[in-house]
């Protein structure tokens, strides 16, 4: 009783564990008020945060992400790691960003401002202020809640990495003090790194956004009110449960479109909200079609889209650095006014970022620590969706005769890569940004495509659906994914994941030799026959047999990963032999004595192993096909001739 009274005095509220929209366990509840100052590019905010201690231990320290401080100076961890460049966009040195926590206190209780301190759990960088801790006068006990009131101001940078402003376009993401995740009694609250994004607990958001009235606003969740204020501003209130973040955007040049999306099986009813910059209206139909495809593909492949809204934000011209980013129920796409239809970048980005609503939004893995769980699974999903809707041969580019599908595109970065990093690694621990992205995006996607071909599409589909169902609105790890894959497939997949997820090596099998030669009649000395007679008795002692050919095929392992192999050998009469090999040794020879020659041999003839770093060496033929060389050479020569004819003019 005494203890409860003390807790009440301290402003710590005790509740039983509750769930919000019924989908997730509500660990956090944010009530945010934000006012956008368009002249100073600042958001003045107040946050009322209720946090539930789900652990078994009392907690007397809270940790918060202050992401916007990554843009505070040129020595933050983000700036150092990124070289002040993100996806080709450079930081603007005249427009730094920052977040200032002016006051933090327990509601109706102690002021904690004096206990605020910046910590650097990942790299001890003294110039990084992206994580803050506060010390509580009294601990929050297990299954108890605490409510804090935080006054803050966020100065937005000129956008070069996801969040910020360009002209009168504002993309406001990672803008408020966001509490970390208490995992196994330890705070999981990483600094803002160049190659990592976000991890947070689920809960409910209610956000009041006040902006000048001429601005068109989009935000996470559903709009429940819209009020014109006396000072010429407007206040929009958005609410959303079962999400772990809240982002919003404002721009007077947005044109808003709303369309319903319905699906019967599984049942989905949602409202698509498109905020398209006036100058990109010509691209609207591409966005609408791609978002419909995304909704249909993810709902049917994994589970029905559970939210009432989905908002697509088209960044203003000049704000592409804000494009291609996911937030719960809202994402930024990317296009330009003159994007050719055959370059399917807007479609790909739309499907990908919408897809993060599943892999990041609903299935909340830790992107700091295991980015492949969202980027890799999402790239896999995106490739499948793009191939489904745009055809596998030209799903990525189908322009001026050049056709490239997503899978060859993903393969290209992997086969060109060094062997520095595995897929599963802390995202700031990769040798470079390139190594991070090729591993967590492309290699992880190819891993899942390979697994799908090995287990069969049906089994893989069940794995993905089960993983989604079991881990939606929770925080799975790689081990959880593997557990589901093994449970559903009924197979021990350690051999697969141990190699592909945790080793930087590569998969490469091929045919190293193929030869076929006639089996000669016996010549020389044989027991029981005088040597000198041998030539004479040729044909007499050994009755004439039909010609026989000895064909040898050597399958080889060029890479380090060990995968079981299938080998197809084709003979000159069209007959085929399929062999299997455990793939363990460096090579295996297959010998055939037949009346016909072997004409070709191929490992992985069904191209299941899309992870294979070299498909060209997978097969070998006795007689090389010369026509394709002629075809491409003549094509090249034609262009070279045209170039020469320009030189002479």
- Tell me which residues touch another protein (CB under 8 A): 166-167, 169, 253, 279, 316-319, 336-338, 393, 403-405, 407-409, 411-412, 415-416, 514, 600-602, 614-621, 624-638, 640-645, 647-649
CB of 64 or CB of 169, closer to another protein: 169
CB of 35 to another protein, least distance (A): 24
Task: Starting at the earlier edge strand, list the strands of the sheet with 509-518.
Answer: 509-518, 549-557, 587-594
User: Of another protein, Zn ion, none, which one does residue 526 interact with (CB within 5 to 8 Å by kind)?
Assistant: none
Q: β-strands 254-263, 178-179: how paired?
A: unpaired
SS3 98: strand
- Say if residue 357 is exposed, middle or buried (CB neighbours under 10 Å; 0-12, 13-18, 19+): buried
What phi and psi, each to the nearest 5 degrees, are found at residue 160?
Answer: -135, -15
CB of 630 to another protein, least distance (A): 6
Within the chain, what is the greatest distance between any pair of CA atoms? 119
Closest CA to 567 of 551, 583, 585: 583
CB of 539 or CB of 638, closer to another protein: 638
CB of 185 or CB of 635, closer to another protein: 635
User: Of another protein, Zn ion, none, which one does residue 15 interact with (CB within 5 to 8 Å by kind)?
Assistant: none
CB of 593 to another protein, least distance (A): 22
Q: How many other C-beta atoms are found inside a 10 Å radius of the C-beta of residue 151? A: 17
Q: Which residues between 305 and 364 bind Zn ion (CB under 5 A)? A: none
CB of 174 or CB of 516, closer to Zn ion: 174
**Residues ≥6 apart with Cβ < 8 Å to 402:** none
CB of 416 to another protein, least distance (A): 5
CB of 522 or CB of 635, closer to another protein: 635
CB of 375 or CB of 398, closer to Zn ion: 375
Among 219-227, 259-267, 370-378, 411-419, the segment contacting Zn ion (CB under 5 A): 370-378
User: Of Zn ion, another protein, none, which one does residue 629 interact with (CB within 5 to 8 Å by kind)?
Assistant: another protein
User: Of another protein, Zn ion, none, which one does residue 179 interact with (CB within 5 to 8 Å by kind)?
Assistant: none
User: 457-471 and 284-301 helices cross at what angle (nearest 10)?
Assistant: 90
User: Of another protein, Zn ion, none, which one does residue 337 interact with (CB within 5 to 8 Å by kind)?
Assistant: another protein
The C-alpha atoms of residue 528 and residue 99 are separated, in whole angstroms, by: 97
Among 177-185, 372-380, 483-491, 624-632, the segment contacting Zn ion (CB under 5 A): 372-380
User: Of Zn ion, another protein, none, which one does residue 201 interact with (CB within 5 to 8 Å by kind)?
Assistant: none
CB of 316 or CB of 348, closer to Zn ion: 348
CB of 359 to Zn ion, least distance (A): 8
CB of 5 or CB of 649, closer to another protein: 649
Return the sign of the alpha-carbon dihedral for residues 535, 541, 546, 552.
Answer: negative
* Length of the chain, in residues: 649
- The owner of tokens 């050049």 is 402
CB of 527 or CB of 623, closer to another protein: 623
The C-alpha atoms of residue 276 and residue 291 are separated, in whole angstroms, by: 13
CB of 631 to another protein, least distance (A): 5
CB of 93 to another protein, least distance (A): 15
CB of 273 to another protein, least distance (A): 22
- The owner of tokens 């989009």 is 218
CB of 251 to another protein, least distance (A): 10
Q: How many other C-beta atoms are found inside a 10 Å radius of the C-beta of residue 385? A: 25
CB of 617 to another protein, least distance (A): 7
CB of 444 to Zn ion, least distance (A): 11
CB of 12 or CB of 319, closer to another protein: 319
Chain centroid offset of residue 198 CA:
13
User: Of another protein, Zn ion, none, which one does residue 404 interact with (CB within 5 to 8 Å by kind)?
Assistant: another protein
User: Of Zn ion, another protein, none, which one does residue 643 interact with (CB within 5 to 8 Å by kind)?
Assistant: another protein
**488 half-sphere exposure, CB direction, 13 A CA radius:** 24
Task: Starting at the earlier edge strand, list the strands of the sheet with 598-603.
Answer: 576-581, 565-571, 598-603, 619-621
CB of 627 to another protein, least distance (A): 5
Report the alpha-carbon angle 296-299-302, nearest 5.
Answer: 135
CB of 94 or CB of 527, closer to another protein: 94
CB of 284 to another protein, least distance (A): 15
User: Of Zn ion, another protein, none, which one does residue 617 interact with (CB within 5 to 8 Å by kind)?
Assistant: another protein
CB of 241 or CB of 398, closer to another protein: 398
User: Of Zn ion, another protein, none, which one does residue 637 interact with (CB within 5 to 8 Å by kind)?
Assistant: another protein
**Residues ≥6 apart with Cβ < 8 Å to 566:** 578, 579, 580, 581, 603, 604, 605, 606
The C-alpha atoms of residue 203 and residue 544 are separated, in whole angstroms, by: 85
SS3 458: helix
The C-alpha atoms of residue 185 and residue 182 are separated, in whole angstroms, by: 6
Q: Which residues between 78 and 107 bind Zn ion (CB under 5 A)? A: none
Total residues binding Zn ion (CB under 5 A): 1
Closest CA to 6 of 142, 137, 104: 137
What phi and psi, each to the nearest 5 degrees, are found at residue 46?
Answer: -130, 135
CA distance from start to end of the chain: 97
The structure tokens listed for 196 are 């990592």
Q: How many other C-beta atoms are found inside a 10 Å radius of the C-beta of residue 565? A: 21
CB-based closest residue to Zn ion: 375
Beta-bridge mates of residue 571: 598
CB of 14 or CB of 416, closer to another protein: 416
User: Of another protein, Zn ion, none, which one does residue 475 interact with (CB within 5 to 8 Å by kind)?
Assistant: none
Residue ranges in contact with Zn ion by CB under 5 A: 375
């Amino acid at each position: 009783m005494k203890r409860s009274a003390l807790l009440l005095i301290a402003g710590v509220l005790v509740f039983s564990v509750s769930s919000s929209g019924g989908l997730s366990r509500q660990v956090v509840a944010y009530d945010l008020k934000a006012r956008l100052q368009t002249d100073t590019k600042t958001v003045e905010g107040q946050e009322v945060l209720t946090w539930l201690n789900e652990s078994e231990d009392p907690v007397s320290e809270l940790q918060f992400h202050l992401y916007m401080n990554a843009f505070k100076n040129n020595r933050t961890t983000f700036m150092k790691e990124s070289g002040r460049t993100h996806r080709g966009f450079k930081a603007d040195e005249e427009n730094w960003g920052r977040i200032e926590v002016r006051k933090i206190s327990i509601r109706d209780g102690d002021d904690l401002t004096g206990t605020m301190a910046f910590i650097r759990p990942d790299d001890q960088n003294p110039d990084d202020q992206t994580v803050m801790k506060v010390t509580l006068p009294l601990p929050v006990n297990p299954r108890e809640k605490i409510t804090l009131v935080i006054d803050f101001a966020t100065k937005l940078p000129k956008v070069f990495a996801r969040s910020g402003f360009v002209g009168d376009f504002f993309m406001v993401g990672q803008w408020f003090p966001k509490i970390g995740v208490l995992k196994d009694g330890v705070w999981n609250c990483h600094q803002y790194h160049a190659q990592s994004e976000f991890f947070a607990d689920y809960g409910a958001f209610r956000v009041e956004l006040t902006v000048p009235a001429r601005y068109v606003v989009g935000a996470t969740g559903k709009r429940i009110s819209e009020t014109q204020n006396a000072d010429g501003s407007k206040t929009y209130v958005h609410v959303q449960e079962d999400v772990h973040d809240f982002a919003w955007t404002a721009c007077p040049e947005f044109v808003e479109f709303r369309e319903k999306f319905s699906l019967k099986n599984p049942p989905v009813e949602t409202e698509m909200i498109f905020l398209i910059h006036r100058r990109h209206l010509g691209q609207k139909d591409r966005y609408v079609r791609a978002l419909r495809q995304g909704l249909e593909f993810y709902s049917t492949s994994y589970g029905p889209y559970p939210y009432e809204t989905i908002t697509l934000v088209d960044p203003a011209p000049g704000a592409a650095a804000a494009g291609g980013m996911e937030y719960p129920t809202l994402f930024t796409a990317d296009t330009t006014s003159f994007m050719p239809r055959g370059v399917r970048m807007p479609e790909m980005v739309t499907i990908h970022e919408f897809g993060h609503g599943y892999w990041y939004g609903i299935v909340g893995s830790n992107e700091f620590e295991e980015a492949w769980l969202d980027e890799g699974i999402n790239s896999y999903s995106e490739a499948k969706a793009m191939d489904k809707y745009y055809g596998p041969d030209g799903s990525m580019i189908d322009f001026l005769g050049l056709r490239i599908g997503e899978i060859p595109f993903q393969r290209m970065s992997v086969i060109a890569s060094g062997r520095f990093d595995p897929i599963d690694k802390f995202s700031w621990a990769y040798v470079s940004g390139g190594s991070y992205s090729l591993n967590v995006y492309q290699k992880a996607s190819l891993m899942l495509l390979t697994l799908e071909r090995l287990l069969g599409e049906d089994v893989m589909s069940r794995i993905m659906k089960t993983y989604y169902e079991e881990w939606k609105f929770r925080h799975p790890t790689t081990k959880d994914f593997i557990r589901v894959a093994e449970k559903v497939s009924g197979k021990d997949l350690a051999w697969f994941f141990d190699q592909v997820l945790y080793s930087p090596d590569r998969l490469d099998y091929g045919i190293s030799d193929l030869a076929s030669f006639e089996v000669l009649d016996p010549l020389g000395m044989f027991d029981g026959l005088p040597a000198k007679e041998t030539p004479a008795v040729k044909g007499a002692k050994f009755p004439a047999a039909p010609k026989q050919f000895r064909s040898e095929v050597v399958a080889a392992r060029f890479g380090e990963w060990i995968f079981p192999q299938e080998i197809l050998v084709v003979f000159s009469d069209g007959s085929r032999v399929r062999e299997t090999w455990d793939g363990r040794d460096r090579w295996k020879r297959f010998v055939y004595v037949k009346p016909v020659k072997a004409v070709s041999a191929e490992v992985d003839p069904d191209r299941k192993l899309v992870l294979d770093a070299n498909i060209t060496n997978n097969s070998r033929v006795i007689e090389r096909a010369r026509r394709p060389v002629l075809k491409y050479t003549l094509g090249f020569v034609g262009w070279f001739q045209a170039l020469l004819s320009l030189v002479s003019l």
